[in-house]
Structure 1
Amino acid sequence: MKNSLFYAKILLFGEYGIIENSRGLTLPYNTYKGTLQFPSSLSESQLKSNKSLYNFLIYLKKIELPSRFKLNLKSLEKDIENGMFFDSNIPQGYGVGSSGALVAAIFDKYSGHKVSPDTISKNDLKDLKIIFGKMESFFHGKSSGIDPLICYMNIPLLIQPDAEVDKAKISENNEGKGAVFLINSGIPGETEPMVKIFFEKLKNDGFRKTLKEEFIKYNNECIDSFLNKDMKSFFKSLKHLSSWALNNFTPMIPSDFLKIWEKGISSNTYYLKLCGSGGGGYILGFTEDYETTQELLKDYNKEIVYRF
């Protein structure tokens, strides 16, 4: 059986803010990928994946999807009984869409409604986001649907307020001194506990006020200047965003990374932000001079996502 590949994703901007109606910007990350497969004999990890698919099937039987997006659950159940598993090298708990890719793969294979990135309408994008949110909630307790959507479409997406989603124009670029990069924290994060911390913080009027007046403002400024290639304005807003996160998202930042987070801000060499919900996994970095940044962060495992 030959199935489609589904790639990881990077949420450049919008973590947590999307919950409060901020904008978001996300792009595919083709270093990691996954696909549904049938094995000749199940290994221990493949058996674990197969059992996870069965638990997911039980959940899918309980939720309602619009009729045109209905999944063929009988066919899915038969394939699971025949040993189907999700063959993936996407690291779990690292904020790059491991569950999103799985949801996208299931939808692609078992939904009767197919869409093309080239011809998809804004209404379909919005509907898919809602449907994927319902499906991925099995893994995280609550999901915006953004991760599966970007994994399914495999194109950059701009998330607008009120759940509107547009295709984003980000030119492919493998050259330049600047870079968007990932730092591996070495420990997986768990989305649900981090989201619970965020909702607890939202109960504080002061936090809610600064989130709306500062965090969302800097987040949206970063998106606009990045898309417009105004890098001077971009890094100015990014410094504010990174500083705000250091002061307000401390529980979501692995403690071993607080010093290098502050070092980037004070040196103006690079700026860090959360990659997804935080708590572990990857940390996202931005720099105008990757060579210098690489030397400053030589003791950390890094991966380049995008050059500019």
Structure 2
Amino acid sequence: MSTSDTTTPPGITLKSPGPGLVPLGPVHTALLHGLDALLTGLAARLSAPEVVGPPLLSAEGLSRLDYFRNFPHLGVAAGRFAPDAFDGLAGGQPPGGLPLEPTGHLLPSATCYGLLLSLEGQDVGADGLRLSATGRCYRNETHYDGLRRLRGFHMREVLYLGTQDGASEHLGRGAEFIREVAAHLGLELTRAAADDPFYDKGGSRARLMMLDPVKHEFSAPDGTAVASVNRHRNFFGERLGIRAGSEESVYSSCVAFGVERWVHAMVLAHGTPERALDRLRRVGA
């Protein structure tokens, strides 16, 4: 693990520019990169190659995945200034009141969406496919709370597409990895069915989640969910026409890690960022 300098120059403080926008100093940054490197161990264990997803997602594509029916309040749209705003911007006019045009894209709210949309119409083969990626994700939230709840954060995911049994095995091995890494890092995590922030809590998807949870979260003692295992059934396979050999539509599942939340959990468990970083370096040695 890198032993690069983790000290901030005297008198320098990285200040937040607003709610949910938290800059990371050298120690927290070392924790973030070190934890992400450690979490890639699941990808290595499952032979999931590292890829980089697209930086923006098509609104049309997300619509076909029922994203706006379920999470219209979370989406962060990507806009651009209209041509008639250019003169004002160049003349120093504050941008807040200038017109924006839609681009037809959103910033990702989860890493797997971009990977799944990129596989539309393809055959991943009878043996299935695994991919791993870390993406910067963005969400509108009702409130923000340090590293626990941010406007923008890093999410590492290990995605599986293939058979129903393969999707279940993927989640089992992912859960085992989470427990193993948490023990090495001195973290106490509890597992429980997730309560996802559906826009319509009485809607069919939310009711189905209560009856048959497809997402389980692993949380720190203060309730911060740091990782999740997610069973998609064959929903994405059907909507995107993704096949696996003779399977008409793949089953998929993913294991997800909120990296900043792991940083938060480490500091919570070990008292200070410096002690947390020392524990991480001993694990990675």
- TM-score w.r.t. the length of structure 2 is 0.25
> Which is higher, the Rg of structure 1 or of structure 2?
2
- TM-score w.r.t. the length of structure 1 is 0.24
